[in-house]
Amino acid sequence: MQYYITKSNFMRITREFKFELENLNDTVYKTAVYFFSDIEKNNILSVKQFLIHSKDELIQFQGSGFIPDRYNYVYEKARHAKYHKNIACTSLNSSYNDIEIPVEIKYKVGTGDLDIDRIEQFRAWFKQPEIANLYHSNQKQFIEKLQIKFQLVNPPKPIEIENGGIKKVSNFTEKELENKIDELIKLVGSLYAQSDMHSEILVKNNFSKRTYYVTSKKYKDVNLYINGKNYSNEEIRAVLTEFYTKIKKPIIDLLIDYWIIKLNPNLDFNQNILEQMEFEPCKLCGHSRCNYIPQLDILDNDDEWELASEYSNSQQKIVNDITNDDLPF
């Protein structure tokens, strides 16, 4: 029997996935794509390799289905990701609703360190029936109480994260995805040639591989320069943002769907593979809890891709955490 997981959990696991066998198939696409950074390329290859080897009983996967508490939301807690027996399971296809922890609560003043005591204090306060009901029914009174208790003026934001489930991977066939990817790749040349500035920045200085300058918080305050040219930091960032949003990010998204549909269109896996990764059976699907041997988590230090993902999602007004590790499905 095959079992199903959501796309969000699949993407989180593949980012942790490190495959060490020799002679890996390292083709990102049927044609070369020259403007991916190594991290972007490796992310796509991790998806591909995971799918290729997920049916092999001899392969030992070490990514973890355990999702720690990242202290982003009021009702968030550490938990194990679920796998599902029934493709129509409501849990598999539902959205996740929660309330964001305000930044002023989340971090210690003047630092980037989590203030866990204050977060838990805020969570306990918010979860009181009187406060939770007030939040949804009377924002004015809620803010008054919030200001008195925590000296905050702006209310925390509600969030709804759509489940990137197996039915939402893509509505396109493999051939249709190929056509869309090919069309975007053809557009690259015209964007490069759009102006001397585009050509100078993206081609001659190879910034097409360094779009992390506009997608990563780590580099958001770095001033960018092109030797011998008077392009401003704002002009350079505008070109990189245009290239990323119009070309690179759409191609990355399409390539991930392309390999999923080509290699495992339903995102189904055998029970052994899922239990190696510490997924737990969904109770709504009629499973009983299974025993499994815990595996060590993979540490992923390549945060460039994760930061880029957050930037892109914020541009699309999709609420998500910087690491994308917090999708609760």
Average pLDDT value for residue range 304-319: 32
Average pLDDT value for residue range 305-325: 31
| Predicted pLDDT of residue 123 | 93
- Percent of the chain scored above 90 by pLDDT? 29
- In b/e form, how buried is each residue of 201-238, taking b as 16+ CB within 10 angstroms? bbeebebbbbbbbbbbeeeeeeebebeeeebeeeebbe
Give me the helix-helix angle, 249-263 and 7-16, nearest 10°. Answer: 100
Q: Where residue 5 falls among pLDDT bands split at 50, 70, 90?
A: confident
**156/146 Cα distance (integer angstroms):** 10
Q: In DSSP terms, which residues pair with 158 in a beta bridge?
A: 99
Please count the helices (runs of H) and the strands (runs of E) in the chain. 13, 8
From 2, 47, 68, 18, select the one nearest 309 (Cα to Cα): 47
pLDDT tens-digit map of 75-99 = 888 777 777 777 777 666 666 678 8
Q: State yes or no: pLDDT of 23 exceeds 50.
A: no
CA atoms within 13 A on the CB side of 200: 12
Q: State yes or no: pLDDT of 296 exceeds 60.
A: no
- Percent of the chain scored above 70 by pLDDT? 74
Phi then psi for residue 234, to 5 deg, are: -65, -40
pLDDT tens-digit map of 178-219 = 999 999 999 999 999 999 999 999 999 999 999 999 988 778
Residue 261 neighbours by CB distance under 10 Å: 18
Average pLDDT value for residue range 28-40: 90
From 76, 174, 164, 89, select the one nearest 126 (Cα to Cα): 76
Mean pLDDT of the chain: 76
pLDDT tens-digit map of 215-255 = 887 787 889 988 889 999 999 999 999 999 999 999 999 99
- In b/e form, how buried is each residue of 154-192, taking b as 16+ CB within 10 angstroms? eebeebebebbbbbebbeeebeebbebbeebbeebeebb
Q: Of all helices (H) and strands (E), which one includes residue 230?
A: none
**180/186 Cα distance (integer angstroms):** 10
Lowest mean pLDDT among 69-73, 191-195, 304-308: 304-308
**205/189 Cα distance (integer angstroms):** 15
Q: State yes or no: pLDDT of 169 exceeds 80.
A: no
**63/38 Cα distance (integer angstroms):** 21
| Predicted pLDDT of residue 79 | 75
| Predicted pLDDT of residue 18 | 63
**182/40 Cα distance (integer angstroms):** 18
Q: In DSSP terms, which residues pair with 4 in a beta bridge?
A: 84, 268
| Predicted pLDDT of residue 57 | 53
Residue 198 token pair: 């585009």
Average pLDDT value for residue range 136-142: 89
| Predicted pLDDT of residue 63 | 53
Q: State yes or no: pLDDT of 282 exceeds 90.
A: no
The domain spans of the chain are 1-17+61-96+268-329, 23-29+47-56+170-264, 101-156
Lowest mean pLDDT among 23-27, 118-122, 195-199, 295-299: 295-299
Burial class of 118 by CB neighbour count within 10 A (0 to 12, 13 to 18, 19+): middle
Average pLDDT value for residue range 42-48: 85
**274/290 Cα distance (integer angstroms):** 11
| Predicted pLDDT of residue 193 | 92
Lowest mean pLDDT among 90-99, 114-123, 273-282: 90-99
In this prediction the pTM is 0.64
Instruction: Give Cα separations from 77 to 70, 80, 129, 326 (angstroms).
Output: 8, 10, 19, 10
- Dmax of the chain from CA atoms? 67
